[in-house]
Amino acid sequence: MNKLGVEPSVTRWNDGEARFLDWTIDGVAVCSTVSTQHQTPLFLDDAGWRECAVETLSRLLGHLPGDFDDGRVALLMCPLCGDLGCGAYSVEVVFNDDSVEWRAFGWQVDYEAFEPEQEEYRSVMARFDRTAYEALLGDLLSNYRA
């Protein structure tokens, strides 16, 4: 099984930067694997994104439907506006009795269907222990709700 975690990260653009918690899989930051300026909504210094963080964590826990019509959940999004039309790095989340899988990683927008055959990461999958996964995301959710 893989190990899901978070670590502090920074994304920069022309005239700004944002500090956030990036997802890690087996210690490797997701942003670093896709070479992007996108970020998670888990901001470290911008309370304005708190609601988005709560919604994303709730989606990843299966408490809310996905961000997209096909049920996929955005892991990374535009740091300026969070608009899914700017493009998001998304994943299919599958719950099993004792594990949670993130499948078919890829870039997606909210105005057209996801086409996995065009994505280089479509075959990538991560499987997490469900108890550890729910504990980590539950703790994050509690922190962002506070």
- Residues 41-90 pLDDT 10s: 998 877 778 899 999 999 999 999 999 999 999 999 887 787 888 888 99
- 64: which 2 tokens? 């809310």
**Closest to 4 (Cα-Cα) out of 131, 133, 103:** 133
- Residues 84-135 pLDDT 10s: 888 889 999 999 999 999 998 888 888 888 776 555 555 568 999 999 999 9
% helix / strand / coil in the chain, to the nearest 5? 30, 35, 35
Q: Give the CA count within 13 Å in the CB-facing half-sphere of 16.
A: 8
Task: Tell me what the mean pLDDT of segment 24-52 comes to.
Answer: 85
Sign of the CA dihedral running 101, 121, 29, 73:
negative
| 57 contacts 140 by C-beta, under 8 angstroms | yes
Give the domain ranges of the chain. 4-145
Report the predicted TM-score, pTM, of the whole model to 2 decimal places.
0.90
130 burial via Cβ count (<10 Å: 0-12, 13-18, 19+): middle
Q: Give the CA count within 13 Å in the CB-facing half-sphere of 142.
A: 6
Average pLDDT, the chain: 88
